[in-house]
Chain A
Amino acid sequence: MTESEYLVETRGLKKYFPLTGGVFRKVIGKVHAVDGVDLHIRRGETLGVVGESGCGKTTLGRTILRLLEPTEGEIWFDGKNITDVKGKDLRHIRRQMQIVFQDPMASLNPRITIKNSVGEPLVVNGIARGPKMRKMVLELLEKVGLTEDHLNRFPHEFSGGQRQRICIARALALNPEFVVMDEPTSSTDVSVQAQTLNLMKDLQDELNLTYMFISHDLSVVKHMSDRIAVMYLGKIVELTPHDIFRYAQHPYTFALVSAVPIPDPRFAGKAQILSGEVPSPINPPPGCRFNPRCIFAQEVCKTQEPELRDVGDGHLVACHFAGTLDFGKSAQQEYAEATGSM
């Protein structure tokens, strides 16, 4: 574990949200949003994080950036432990890590021009102001495919895709090394999404960025990421450098993958339907968290929590029976074979 290899690292990271109730707002429970996550993000790679809503993927992203205070565990960034960094030092570290949020309209102030919105981080950090700032903002906007005309406009004058580009430009203003993309394309259309995704890939190559790409859309994550982490109820159940559509090892990953509708009518109606819904993260099931919905569950799954273990080539799976389960063939695999042979 050399310093230069990993940019971001978490060790046993936990984030619980207190649940209050009763007359005196007493804490009556905890929401286990992130419950013991160990992960490493290499320099220059994109780590995709997928999972259903409520699995803690956004909380994980925000906790790593210290936008939320971790309950337990450590966060390492660029070889430094940043779990307890405060004040000036924290601000200094935040220059190197930025976030792009899901809804660009909500994250841009409607009363401030694009020039000031994008330039604000430069002013706050005392890097540039006035004409110098304008010049730097213009460079940023040009990087994301906008022009000088756009400088003095307001957010409502832009389309959804353009707004998301503005947010990306703002995130890049301080020349960060690490950017968390929190569902950046889930509010845009397919054709605009393709433009945004291409732009993000180009920027990554150009500026040598490291991304953490959070999304619920498996095909988008697959397209963007070098490695993919699958989360379920606050835990990583599988982390793989391989194609999750072909080489899933955890039963949840397999079910998630096979639920994705295939854009080809010849393979319709073959999805494996996962029964039930995600249990509440307030009282997660004992043992393996997936056991109540898992068709392969055995006695041991109900009592012992499986560890995330390496099954070869850095493919980590948290399942007692990883590698021994036969899922059969998913519609996706058949589809891949059929189109591959075409």
Chain B
Amino acid sequence: MADTKDLVLEVHGLKTNFYTYEGVVKALDGVELFLRRGDTMGLVGETGCGKSVTARSILRLVEPPGRVEEGEILFREIDPKTGEVNAVDILQLDEDEMLHIRGGKIAIVFQDPSTFPNPVFRIGDQIAEVILLHQDMKHDVLEMKINKLERILNMNPPPVNVSEIVAHLEQLRSMRGNPPEPDEKAKKKAAKWRAIEMLKLVRMPSPESVVNQYPHELSGGMRQRALIAMALACNPSILICDEATTALDVTVQAQVLNLLNQLKKEIGTSIIIITHDMGVVAETCNWVAVMYAGTTVETCATDELFANPLHPYTEGLLHAVPKLHEERERLPQIPGSVPNLIHPPSGCRFHPRCDFATEICKTEKPKLEEVQPDHWVACHHPRI
């Protein structure tokens, strides 16, 4: 594994169960992930393989009857002042500390933009709420005041009391090192101002009017942009997009994916993209983790995965996608369907559907191992 300093998130042996009437659903059974700083990781797999549960476990948002049973989720944060890297285990934190991380340092964008923004609040207020909750607004209030005075100075015709304004501006600028505590009203105003800035960042058309609109007035693509703006409002270290583009049309999806690619360059957030679409992964991610029935089966660089898949499941998944240009009578299919996780198959969870399964696959669960440089696979018979 790479130098641990480069890793912003590490997940080891994560197990999450759901206690239902029919039995214990072992949704996650030893998930292993690591995310490097500045990377975009794709988390792919079919429905029910535990992609979203992994995301929710990382944010400790698993609701009863679900429970995170075991594992370690290390979040490494760089201290902005000293440059030191502090590691915390998210599963050991208490709820107060968690509130600080959730939304502030790790943010998530959920799947369906038509249900997610609260329909009864204005877009701007919802973004401002996140900002007020997580951030110290002192600097922003001050900057906003300075900005306003500068605007007045540059007005045409110039204002009458120029000297007074300049003096006041100087005074405000001198406070930049140690801004005064602003009042609630100023804070709110500044938060709204920041909300407009965030909407500009996600290239929302006419952000000044959108802040005062309600979610139903926006189209699907614009709502998704607003949600991304909300998630990015606090400059999180990690942004998780849980099927963020699945509900969108291809042309709008292309716009949103393009936006994510640009934002990554601008703000340097590490991104986890959860999707079932291999095309989305190829388009945006440089690292991939493939999940099957609650376990990580393969993780490597995107180019490597597409060129050289080592796990039989990954291979099948890549072949099952209809290619745009090929004339094929039939699609290669993976036989069977995703197993029931109340009674998961013994040993390797993929063995009943695998063409290469042998005795050992039925009894022993394979570990995620580095079989080639920077290419981890959990399989007894990797396709080397």
A interface residues, Cβ below 8 angstroms from B = 52-53, 159-162, 189-195, 197-198, 201, 216, 218-220, 222-223, 243, 245-246, 255-257, 259-269, 271, 273-274, 277-278, 332, 335-336, 339-340
Contact yes or no, B324 A190, CB < 8 A: no
Provide the B310-338 mask, 1 if CB < 8 A to any CB of A, else 0. 00000011101111110011111110011
On whether A261 and B277 interact (CB within 8 A), knowing A191-B316, A194-B320, A268-B283, the answer reads: yes
The answer to whether B62 has its CB under 8 Å from any CB of chain A is no
**Assuming the A-B contacts A159-B337, A265-B306, A273-B258, are A201 and B329 also in contact, with contact meaning beta carbons closer than 8 angstroms in the complex?**
yes
Q: Which residues of A contact B250 (CB under 8 A)?
A: 52, 216, 218, 256, 259-260
Q: A223-B331, A265-B281 are in contact. List 13 more A-B contacts (CB 8 A).
A: A191-B320, A197-B322, A260-B279, A262-B283, A265-B282, A265-B285, A265-B286, A268-B282, A273-B254, A273-B258, A277-B221, A277-B222, A335-B325
Give the contacting residue for A190; candidates B46, B249, B284, B337; CB below 8 A: B46
- Report if A219-B321 is in contact (Cβ < 8 Å); known contacts: A52-B250, A194-B334: yes
Of all chain B residues, the one with the shortest Cβ separation from A160 is: B47
Contact of B276 (CB < 8 Å), options: A189, A198, A262, A339 = A189
Which residues of B are found within 8 Å of A216, using beta-carbon distances? Answer: 249-250
Chain A facing B: main interface SS: helix
Contact B331 A197 (CB under 8 A): yes
Q: Which residues of B contact A262 (CB under 8 A)?
A: 279, 282-283, 324
Number of interface residues of B (CB under 8 A): 47
Taking a contact as CB atoms under 8 Å apart, the answer to whether B219 and A245 are in contact is no
Question: For chain B residues 202-240, which have a beta carbon within 8 Å of chain A?
Answer: 219, 221-222
The interface centre, meaning the residue of B254, B306, B318 with most chain A CB atoms within 10 A of its CB, is: B254
User: By CB atoms of chain B within 10 A, which of A192, A193, A268 has the most?
Assistant: A268
3 A-B pairs closest in CB distance: A261-B279, A336-B325, A259-B254
Q: Determine the chain A residues whose CB is within 8 A of the CB of B328 once the complex forms.
A: 223
Alpha-carbon gap, A53 to B47, bound state (A): 23
Instruction: Kindly count the residue-residue contacts between A and B in the assembled complex, taking CB atoms under 8 Å apart.
Output: 136
**CB of B253 closer than 8 Å to a CB of A:** yes
What CA separation (Å) do A336 and B316 show in the bound complex? 21
Tell me the complex Cα distance, A187–B95, Å. Answer: 36
Are B254 and A190 in contact, with the CB atoms below 8 A? no
Name which of A189, A246, A262, A271 has the most chain B CB atoms within 10 A of its CB.
A189
Given contact pairs A259-B250, A271-B258, A190 touches B321 in the complex (Cβ within 8 A): yes
Contact A245 B325 (CB under 8 A): yes
7 example contacts (A-B, Cβ-Cβ < 8 A) are as follows A191-B320, A194-B334, A269-B258, A277-B221, A332-B325, A335-B325, A336-B324
Residue-wise, chain B 252-264 has the 8 Å CB interface mask toward A (1 for contact) of 1111011001000
- A198→B331 contact, CB < 8 A: yes
Q: Interface centre among A193, A267, A335, by most B CB within 10 Å?
A: A193
A219 touches B323 (CB 8 A): yes
List the A residue with the shortest CB-CB distance to B327: A243
Q: Is B278's CB within 8 Å of the partner chain A?
A: yes
Q: Quick check: B324 and A332 within 8 Å, CB to CB?
A: yes
The answer to whether B303 touches A266, judged by C-beta atoms less than 8 angstroms apart, is yes
Is the beta-carbon distance between B324 and A274 smaller than 8 angstroms? no
Let me know if A260 and B324 touch, CB within 8 A.
yes
Determine whether the beta carbon of A191 is less than 8 Å from that of B278: no
Q: Which residues of A contact B163 (CB under 8 A)?
A: none
Q: Using Cβ atoms and an 8 Å threshold, which residues of chain B touch A201?
A: 329-330
CB of A191 within 8 A of CB of B254, answer no
Contact A339 B257 (CB under 8 A): no
Assess A159 versus B338: contact at CB under 8 Å? Given A220-B322, A263-B318: yes
Which residues from A are CB-within-8-Å of B222?
Answer: 277
Which among B251, B261, B323 has the greatest number of chain A C-beta atoms within 10 A?
B251
CA distance A316 to B337 in the complex (A): 41
Report the Cα distance A259→B261, complex, angstroms.
15
Q: Which residues of B are found within 8 Å of A160, using beta-carbon distances?
A: 47
Whether A263 touches B279, Cβ cut-off 8 Å, given contacts A197-B331, A243-B325, A335-B324, is yes
Chain B residues lying within 8 Å of A269, measured Cβ to Cβ, are: 258, 261, 283
Interface residue from A52, A192, A198, A245 paired with B337 (Cβ < 8 Å): A192
The verdict on B111 contacting chain A, using a C-beta distance below 8 Å, is no
Please determine whether B276 and A273 come into contact, CB atoms closer than 8 angstroms: no
Which of B46, B222, B325, B334 has the most C-beta atoms of chain A within 10 angstroms of its own C-beta?
B325
Task: Say whether A265 contacts B325, CB under 8 Å.
Answer: no
Contacts known (A262-B283, A265-B306, A339-B325); A274 close to B219, Cβ less than 8 A: no
Complex: how many Å from CA A261 to CA B331? 19
Determine how close the nearest CB of chain B comes to the CB of A229; give it in whole angstroms.
Answer: 17
The answer on a CB contact under 8 Å between A191 and B334 is: yes
A336–B332 CA distance with the chains assembled, in angstroms: 19
Contact A259 B251 (CB under 8 A): yes
- CA of A112 to CA of B317 in the docked complex: distance in angstroms? 34
Interface hub of A161, A223, A256 (most chain B Cβ within 10 A): A223
Answer whether residue B302 sits at the interface, using C-beta atoms and an 8 A cutoff. yes
Query: In the complex, A246 Cα to B325 Cα: how many Å?
Result: 8
